[in-house]
Structure 1
């Protein structure tokens, strides 16, 4: 990034809604973890995918396994979470929703409950230090672990949803998309929805998941993660697009976060799903051939609500400023359009309306005069 562009994108206030904790560990934090555990013989090249490099999805998940070896205690998790939060804040992120699968490690005595408690402790510590960022947490279900573990994860999330003073706000469904089927997780996800937890589900990350996607959209989720192969141009189906783009929904039906877009004939598109798009992640993970062919273009020109995210800023060697600049340069967005994209992301956060209003006021205070 050149200096002038760097200043604009760094100073741009941003919302990050799709950030996996362990995938967001920076080079500097990895270095500290490696020094703590030299016996593991882990090198930096094993924990990140550098510039110009690509990996298969399976190889990407192997990187996470390496990072999990480095992050296996409460002390590790606290340091990682604190560093990640401060790094996002330094990158101009004003609101962050972290997500992570609670893990247990027999060797260190780590339990899933303590895992979540430690992430919350890190969030509270950053708040105590007056770090300029509002952070919330999504408890993640790893689809590879099956239905029983998914239900246990939801039950744990429900407890913290009620006891964390608004810090735990939702459920993430993630993990290797080639393993298992969403039908096995429906009961757990529906329970989470009924409990008031928000749902962000990884959908259509790989081709030929039409049946699963159709099933999970019926819950419905509050946000879609990736959605790479939803639309026909990427091998999806018009039926799935029609399900995401709900036309003429009776006003008596209630959905969270509904927004609308006028059509030429006076009708409205009513959007009930919002998409978290992670460009560098998709390109380096080879689910998208190149930036110019990313499905951002499809949904953006349709007017569909989308949020630019990093997914795993450490693993994919990026940050949110770089992602916004990549979107702008690839698709010819003006700086005012970039500002609006960032500002509109506030509407799709899972925190209460009062938090949204506070963020909108912050954006108004920071808005460049030429955009007013």
Structure 2
């Protein structure tokens, strides 16, 4: 690895937008495929390699394949443990994983046992001394409508109270072309009222301005993507003003947006727009497995594309601490950790 690569790997990082199933590495997929030969799955369908691109629809097809492979508590435990250890190996010191609780009738996996198993994996890694603080966001899949969304919020509430601070919030995700945010407002409002933090995928595709406007009134605690907010890409100044007024951090995923074709190329990524505004923006991976990337690569890409110095990059990674959903004492511990690591990284 060149010096540049070493710097980014050693840089302590915060990952706030990582879908569990999309983060499963090709090594873990290999293990799952070997365990389930009857599924006859072609590995090339599960990751999008260097220079490859797929439409957003095709990206969602990849998830269907991964869901077929991950359908028991044992699978969920292995996958979560592997993902956590890979993020830790990449220098990530604080991670918020997100996933929609799933049930699989044939294997006895329930939505509740799904969340319990993710929490078990987090605790196991902690007990093994893996150097990473991991929290969990329970995800609402917008495709499943109002009723399921409310069920999901109730589950998240229950675990927020019983998971010893590991369940910190709620994610709204799923295929952005399906459903409308207004149907999910009651569930999101309930979540907010009971103290769950909200991270919402907003304006991931161009046609969502009205929905984004509506959901920004909640307001969410963080925004996933926000690709089409700004006027230069057909958004509106009033959306930008709402985001800025409420100081809502954005979770920005460069490779995901370019490979998923919602952004034409790295140079045109909206990171530049928000960074120049001085607005809190956190670099994230989205789906490191599906998009064949890791957080070190994403930081390096942002730096080389937008001319950021190592000092700028350090500041970006440090400022991400203020955007986490864990409480104030955890933020203070992380800031101390960054201070302790500074000399090592800049030696």
Is the 1:336–1:371 Cα contact (8 Å) retained in structure 2?
A: no
Deviates more, 1:38-47 or 1:197-206: 38-47
The Cα offsets for residues 27-55 of structure 1, whole Å up to 9 and x where unpaired, read as 10000000000111112211110111000
TM-score, normalised to structure 2's length?
Answer: 0.99
Cα offset, 1:368, TM superposition: 3.0
**Structure 2 equivalent of residue 37 of structure 1:** 36
What is the SS of the residue equivalent to 2:16? Answer: strand
TM-score, normalised to structure 1's length?
Answer: 0.92
**Regions of 4+ moved over 4 Å:** 369-372
Is the 1:186–1:216 Cα contact (8 Å) retained in structure 2?
A: yes
The Cα offsets for residues 298-322 of structure 1, whole Å up to 9 and x where unpaired, read as 0000000000000000000000000
**Structure 1 equivalent of residue 127 of structure 2:** 128
Pairing 1:246-265 to 2, within 5 Å after superposition: 246=245
Is the 2:7–2:345 Cα contact (8 Å) retained in structure 1?
A: no
- 324, 328, 333: which one aligns with 2:308: 333
Pairing 1:1-372 to 2, within 5 Å after superposition: 2-246=1-245, 271-368=246-343
Is the 2:173–2:200 Cα contact (8 Å) retained in structure 1?
A: yes
What RMSD over aligned residues (CA atoms) do the two structures have, in Å? 1.1
Q: When you count helix as a share of all residues, which structure comes out higher?
A: 2
CA distance in structure 2 between the partners assigned to 1:245 and 1:323 by the alignment = 24
CA distance in structure 2 between the partners assigned to 1:301 and 1:368 by the alignment = 28
Is the 1:310–1:318 Cα contact (8 Å) retained in structure 2?
A: yes
Cα offset, 1:244, TM superposition: 1.1
The Cα offsets for residues 63-109 of structure 1, whole Å up to 9 and x where unpaired, read as 00000000000000000000000000000000000000000001101
Is the 1:102–1:113 Cα contact (8 Å) retained in structure 2?
A: yes
Q: Which runs of 5+ in 1 are unaligned?
A: 247-270
Q: Which runs of 5+ in 2 are unaligned?
A: none
Cα offset, 1:371, TM superposition: 6.8
CA distance in structure 2 between the partners assigned to 1:370 and 1:16 by the alignment = 18
Question: How many residues of Structure 1 are paired with residues of Structure 2 in the alignment?
Answer: 347
